[in-house]
Structures are given as C-alpha cells and as structure tokens.
Amino acid sequence: MGPLIQSPHRLLESNINKITDRKFITNGEWDINLLTNVLPDNIIQNILSIDIGSLDLNGEPIWNLSGNGNYSKKSAWNNIRISKTRDSFLSKLWHKSLPFKFSFLSWRLSHGKLLFNEVVSRFGNQSNALCLCCNTPVLDFMQHTFSEGEAARQIWRLIAVPLGITHHAGPIRRNFKECWDFNSKNKVYSLILQVTPVIICWQIWKKWTTCKFGNQRKIAINKMEYQAIWNLQAILQVEFLKCSITGNWTIMCNIIERLKPMVIIKQVRWIKPDMGCIKLNLDRSYTSNNGRAGIGTAIRDNEGKIIVALSRPKQCNSNTQAEALTAKQGIQWCISKGYHRFQVEIDSQIISNMITNKRTTNMKIKKDRLRYYQLG
C-alpha cells in the first residue's frame, strides 16, 4: 500500500513519511483506535474494507485504474483527460490495415484543413487558383476537387459503382456515408465499403499535389484507378489471408458480394478425469459497467456424476479477477472436503498459467494466487 496516509489532519509534518500501514495493524487486524487518532471517519471506513492479507509478505502497490493492477500512463491519462463525445464518422476513417497517411488525409479533409482556396481566404489572402482536374477550369475548392470535379466523378464511379453505390456530386461527408451506410453482405464486403472512400480521397490528393507542385499537367484517371484497386487488394490480403481475389474490379466486387461464411462443425465433449480424481469446470460472467460478476463451479467424479455445483454473485474489477475468484472458490471447496486429487478446467489462459506456473503479472489477483498454495 505504501504510505497509508494521504491527507493527515492530526499528524506532525515530521512524521508523515515514517508511518506505514503496518503501524496500524494489531494481531492481524486493523487497529481502529490508532486509525481514529489520525484519520477522519470517512477514510477509516475505506481502510477497514481493505483485506490485510499475509503480514509475512511485503506490501505491493496496486493501481486500481488498470485491469491488472499495474500502473500505465494510458490509464492515468484516460482518468484525467476531458474527452469529447466520440464522432462515429471520424472513428470509421481509421482502420488498422489502412496506412496512417491515408486516414489522416481524410481526417484533415473532413475538418477542412487542406490548402485550398477557401482555407487560404481565412487568413486574409484571396486565392483564385483554378482546379487541375477539369477541361474547363473553375475555382479550386475542396468539395469540387474531391467530389464534384471531372476527375473526382470518374474515379468515384469507377470504384464505387461496381460495389453498388451511386456517386452523387455534393458534400464529401455524404460520399463517405453512402459507402458506410450501404447494406453489406459479409465481413469482406463491409471492410471494402469502409476503406474505399478513404483510398479514393488519397488517390485524388496524390494526383492533385503531383499536378500542382510537380511536373504532371493532367490527372491520369487510369493510374488512379489502378493504384486504388491495388490498395484494396493489399488490404484484403492482409485482413483475410485465405481470400485471394484478383482480376477485373467489377468481377472482384461480384465475387466479394457473394462470399458466405464457411461453417465448420467441431465436436466438443466433456472428458472424464482419471480414476480417483475429480474435475472442476469453472465459468463466470462479468459486467464491466458496474463490476458485477457471477461465478460458478461444477465438480464431477471420474464417472461424470455431479458431486456439487457452486455459484454466487461477486463484485470484481475485471473479467480476469472474476476468473480468479471462480478458481479460488472451487479449489477451496475441494481442499476443505478432503479432495487433493483434482483437475481444473477453465477457459482463461491467464488463470491457467497462474495456477500451473505459480506466476502472474496481474497485481489484483496476485494475493489469490498466493492463497491457492497456502491452502494446498
């Protein structure tokens, strides 16, 4: 726990750093009289609810803001930050298979933070730059370049129409939402619909900058189409290793639309324990928003007959802690009833490693791990 007192009202300044939690423990219990002398009542009630544990072990700090009890800058930042309401539109711009620069470009586009006429004019500099994508040039605005211009309309139709989406020249956000709100047939199709508008905008931006700041004089639609399709195929190969679809884009879209999940049937059965041994089957349920959990244990003999079934509600800090309490409940019952040969069957790799290897990095369940072996 470290220093017990965070805000002492009745302690001398010189003694603050010398008093630890062990000074307030008598015969393995909290000494209420000592606590009353130095702490206000509301803090005392919180301390009395803390399990002291074994006095033979050194105390270790537990960070309550993380699931495993270990300190992290991320959990500390999330606790103090003032976060805005999540924008569902902006969250869909990002995908782990998309290069960061693709998503960041779309984010800047959605916030109007690209170097076009309307942005330059905000700083008091009137710009009359003409677009680089039309045979009859007009003023170069973001919506025109990415949605309404000749090049934009062509690339949107070449990529989006085979997916079943009709492109409408207008607000850029509407083009994105038309893709995202389209009824997808499967996970592959849903992924393509999510990343397609981001990739299209990146290709438009890439060719626009090449024309504006490079040697190219006209946007090449064929190259934009080829590179957009190549990026879509690359993302498919990364996300779905067994989904190798190549060839004409229209044919690819028809194949992707007809894909169906592969049904795999696998027999799962309970395996009897060895002769003279019993088996514990453990499971739990946990709700993160209120910390309520339910833990259950079924104990059977080597013939599959139920010896006892245990269940009870608990208050937990994490799903892993609920798993640990479930294992603790079953092991305690077996040892209390004289069963020393038993097998534990649980679906948590963390708890399995904790029981078999006697190790865990989760500070919140470490005390339970130690008690398993004290019981044994």
Per-residue tens of pLDDT for the chain, all 376 residues: 443 444 444 444 445 456 777 788 888 788 888 888 888 888 888 888 777 766 776 666 777 777 667 788 888 888 888 877 777 888 899 999 999 999 999 999 998 888 887 777 777 777 777 777 777 777 778 888 888 888 888 999 999 999 988 888 888 899 999 999 988 888 889 999 999 999 999 999 998 888 888 777 778 888 889 999 999 999 988 888 777 777 788 988 888 888 887 888 988 888 889 888 999 998 888 888 888 899 999 999 988 899 999 998 988 877 878 888 888 888 889 888 888 888 888 887 777 777 676 556 665 556 555 454 444 4
Nearest to 161 by CA among 250, 247, 238: 250
The whole-number pLDDT of residue 63 equals: 79
CA dihedral 39, 43, 46, 52 (to 10 degrees): -30
The whole-number pLDDT of residue 9 equals: 45
**78: CB partners within 8 A, 6+ apart:** 65
Beta bridge partners of 345: 281
The whole-number pLDDT of residue 121 equals: 76
The whole-number pLDDT of residue 2 equals: 40
Residues of the chain with CATH 3.30.420.10: 278-375
* Interior angle at CA 47, CA 41 and CA 49, nearest 5: 110
Task: Please tell me the number of Cα atoms within 13 Å of 295 on its side-chain side.
Answer: 21
Query: pTM for this one?
Result: 0.62
Between CA 62 and CA 162 the distance in angstroms is 55
Q: Which CATH architecture has domain 278-375?
A: 2-Layer Sandwich (3.30)
Q: At what angle do helices 187-213 and 172-180 cross, to 10 degrees?
A: 160
The whole-number pLDDT of residue 6 equals: 44
Nearest to 103 by CA among 193, 195, 188, 170: 195
The whole-number pLDDT of residue 139 equals: 78
